[in-house]
Amino acid sequence: MLKNYKGRIIFHIDMNAYFCSVQCKLNPSLRGKAFAIGREGTLKGVLSTASYEARKYGIHSAMPIIEAYKILPTLLVVNHNFEAYKKYHYLFIDIIKQYTNLIEVASIDEVYADMTEISKRVHPLVLAKEIQLRLLRELDLPCSIGIAPTLFLAKMASDMQKPLGLTVLRKREIEEKLYPLSVKDIFGIGKKTYPKLLDANINTIGDFMNPSNRDLIISLVGINTYEYATTHILGKSSNEVKPDRYNNSKSISTETTFDIHKSSMIDILSSIRALLREIYQRLIKGEYVCKTVVVTLRDSNFNTISKRQTLDEYTDDLFTFNSIAEDLLNELFNEEKTYRLAGVGFANMVKRSELKEEYNIFTVTDRTEKEANINKLLSEINKKYGDETIYFNKNKKK
């Protein structure tokens, strides 16, 4: 019990290798094996996540399947089961709700929970251990829990011990526990950003926080990133869990009906890309980012099928959207059928400004300067000459 504690007690509950854990529950024969989630039976596409056994070989999320097989030819690749992921998401949320109503869903496999009130009666470490054991016993799902006075520090704490970790991070322990960690462990530092820091001999969080390195770091990552990162690391960021923070999340989609039914995947892909460019402009103009891409087909017999892929992070990267849409179409298309309709959409959308308000670099996918400049140039050209003047096509030029 912490009756006299005046700060907030924030839990970050992070399900360990969630997609893989759910798959193991559905198929216990996968336990202890090196496997990953992706497109089964093909070398196309990328992996969504990998089991801890597979990670030992260097296999990770967003890795092309063909590269993963080169590393580990015996790797098992298992298809997504989004319905099961959603089902167990709601089940584990229901367990957390038995302890507090102040729950903020960060993604399908992680939540923030304000445990301040209940911690006046029960010690937070006892609560965390109870929640961890209940999720494991009742749902057969492992998790790590970070306990801290801010959302960011709780997230950092949950990442420090996986799987089945339980870590407390107090403000007075920041230098002791965080500063020795690698700079790449700063939550939200992009995979294309931290190598710049390492190359400049900014190796640890302590190096990042050293005032003598300030000018060098700003020259590498920019003043905004530097200030947001240092503020969060020092525990000066938000301690407010907002259950309705993303209730205004939106989705957009569009579709086209073919006057003459199509049987060529190349023709349908061309239509999908045109539709994607249309909603991409709406995404950018609305200043949104998203996590999920959806592709829909309707055949000549009016049978409608859809598939979606959800990323680990929010993004507005057109290269990524095009790649995912093509992968999804490959999964849906049946060369023995003809199609009367094709559609594409974005889901799990949030305003970029809403992410920046709370997390800034800590939730938005990092993009290279080159990609950002290309997207800016495309937008300027299309604004001046029309939305379809120029667009990305990774297979051929137009």
List, by residue number, the catalytic residues.
Answer: 110
Strands 166-168 vs 143-148: parallel, antiparallel or unpaired: parallel
Q: Which residues pair with 305 in a beta bridge?
A: 297
| Spatial distance between the Cα atoms of 306 and 119, rounded to a whole number of angstroms | 45
CA–CA–CA angle 103, 108, 110 (5° rounding): 50
- Residue 29, exposed/middle/buried by CB under 10 A (0-12, 13-18, 19+)? exposed
Helix and strand numbers, DSSP H then E, in the chain: 15, 12
| Spatial distance between the Cα atoms of 235 and 156, rounded to a whole number of angstroms | 11
Return the closest-CA partner of residue 136 out of 254, 300, 220, 24: 24
Rounded alpha-carbon distances, angstroms, from residue 79 to 19, 24, 331: 10, 12, 11
* Crossing angle (nearest 10°) for helices 82-96 and 18-26: 110
* Strand residue runs (E) in the chain: 10-15, 35-38, 49-50, 76-79, 103-107, 110-114, 143-148, 166-168, 250-262, 288-299, 304-315, 339-351
Cβ contact 60:40 at 8 Å: no
3-state secondary structure of 191: coil
